[in-house]
Amino acid sequence: MKKFERRDFIKTSAILTAGSSALFFGCNGEKKNESVNIITNKKYEWKLVTAWPPHYPLLGEYAEKFTEMISRMSSGRLKIQVYGGGELVPPLETFDAVSQGLVEMGHSASYYWAGKLSASQFFTSVPFGMNSDQSNSWLNHGGGLKLWEEMYSPFNIIPFCCGNTGGQMGGWFGKEIHTISDIKGLKIRMAGLGGKIINKLGASTILSPGAELYTNLERGVIDALEWIGPYHDYLMGFQRIAPYYYYPGWQEPTGILELLINKNAFESLPIELQDMVRYSADAVNTQCLAEFNYRNAEYLEKIKSEGKVQLKKYSDELLKLFRETTHQIISEITAKDVMSKKVYESYSKFQKQITQWSDVAEINYL
């Protein structure tokens, strides 16, 4: 080991004091370091795979910003190479790659793993559920994050919040949607619980990666889709092939993005590097949501001003039916899966409580 000079020891001690005594709050839990941590010059080189196309606006970009923050704060001691979906592993195999230790990190949305973990879909969004601020409160202070950690623990994964899309749009259609008969028989790209709901109502859902959506819609592989919001939808070009753009995004009132970390890899890091990971994920969680809101507002105005797309609101009749079917689907899921029941009980209890406060504090602005 390199022999330290006195000035090196003083410099290292200062970094240690700043790093290991800090409290980090946010969607990634509360951390307090009480043990002495010896900082070494050991360097780590990790890989992070995403469920998004390479360098994808905001989603992929914030995964890259996350790794850049850590590299700067650690003075290069922890370097993380980002791979877009398909560059190293297929987008929808991100979870397995992290779980098996093929890579150390992944960036995705938890509802992609509903096939193996039914309860995972509650950690991205719940139809007619809490918005982004309310969901963050549940995760931080209502026990949500601890349940998320418990669910992923058997898979050797630690989850962190690392971004948020905010509220989303209802979807793109080639025809007007008035009643449930207009939805029956359609092939729709819709992920998570929303997809199960429209399946129940007679549509067919197809889950495909973002990179394939435009081509699938253009060629008729799907008849309609929901992706995110005006910014990404416009960049994807959906306005060129689908004339009707529906709102509200009842299926995703928020869109929590997850950072997956292999548990063994994370625990091998010194404490101060672990804290840098937590801090960076929290920073991205805040900044990403802020930029999503900014970009979506900007591009909604752009879509409206171009006049090529008709912005449509789902009828009250349809929204009522969607809500009723949501309750049915969630009841079926929670009756079959113990973890889903545990998670949703926590979620719904918190939602009832925080909605009372939101109605008092924010109703005048909504």
CATH classification of the domain holding 196: 3.40.190.10
Separation between Cα atoms, residue 360 and residue 183, nearest integer Å: 36
For residue 175, being part of any structural domain is answered with yes
For residue 180, being part of any structural domain is answered with yes
For residue 330, being part of any structural domain is answered with yes
* b/e code 73-105 from CB counts within 10 Å (16+ = b): bbeebbebebbbbbebbebbbbbebbbeeebbb
Question: Model pTM?
Answer: 0.86
For residue 303, being part of any structural domain is answered with no
Digit-by-digit pLDDT tens for the chain (366 residues) are 444 343 443 343 343 334 433 333 456 655 444 445 555 689 999 999 999 989 999 999 999 999 999 999 999 999 999 999 999 999 999 999 999 999 999 999 999 999 999 999 999 999 999 999 999 999 999 999 999 999 999 999 999 999 999 999 999 999 999 999 999 999 999 988 999 999 999 999 987 777 789 999 999 999 999 999 999 999 999 999 999 999 999 999 999 999 999 999 999 999 999 999 999 999 999 999 999 999 999 999 999 999 999 999 999 999 999 999 999 999 999 999 999 999 999 999 999 999 999 988 887 776
Within 13 Å and on the Cβ side, how many CA atoms surround 56?
25
The pLDDT assigned to 267 comes to 98
The pLDDT assigned to 348 comes to 98
Put the strands of the sheet holding 224-225 in their side by side order.
204-205, 187-189, 224-225, 171-173, 244-247, 310-313
- The alpha carbon dihedral of 40, 102, 259, 86 has a sign of positive
Separation between Cα atoms, residue 209 and residue 204, nearest integer Å: 16
Who's near 279: CB < 8 A, 6+ residues apart?
Answer: 22, 24, 69, 73
Neighbours of 13 (CB within 10 A): 11
Enter the DSSP assignment of 161: E
The pLDDT assigned to 207 comes to 78
Number of domains forming the structure of the chain: 1
For residue 15, being part of any structural domain is answered with no
Beta bridge partners of 164: 256
For residue 57, being part of any structural domain is answered with no
For tokens 């789902």, name the residue. 314
Neighbours of 121 (CB within 10 A): 26
For residue 181, being part of any structural domain is answered with yes
DSSP letters for 188-237: EE--HHHHHHHHHTT-EE----GGGHHHHHHHTS-SEE--S-HHHHHHHT
User: Domain span at residue 210?
Assistant: 171-251+308-336
